[in-house]
Amino acid sequence: MYIVQSIVTVPEEKAEEVIGLYQNRSRSVDRQPGFLSFQLLQNEAKPEELTVHMTWETKEAYVSWVTSEDFKRIHELEKKYPDQELANIKPTVRRFLVRAE
């Protein structure tokens, strides 16, 4: 398995807005071969810190997603989000190989 986490810190007063965006996401990634799961995590101690946690069968499945036209289209839409403060936030991305379960 392969896990990818994208961590962002948003203004605390905008955390619920961002959570709403993810709750209403397109779900196109859900149909991607090798995709297993998606969770949006909110740090209990720092509610402004949100983590997108995605699980994939393999690293190759993930790479196939991030090089797909669908991925590019979705991320281009994010750049055009009306709230430019949110649109300009850059995530910290961490990638993990699962070594034991």
Q: How confident is the model at residue 74 (pLDDT cuts 50, 70, 90)?
A: confident
Whether residue 47 is predicted with pLDDT greater than 90 in this model: the reply is yes
Q: What global pTM score does this model have? A: 0.89
Closest C-alpha to 40, from 62, 63, 21, 66? 21
Please compute the mean of the pLDDT values over residues 32-47 and round it to a whole number: 97
Output the average pLDDT for the chain. Answer: 92
CA 56, chain centre distance (Å): 13
What class is the 2-97 domain? alpha beta
Please compute the mean of the pLDDT values over residues 47-62 and round it to a whole number: 98
Percent of the chain with pLDDT over 90: 75
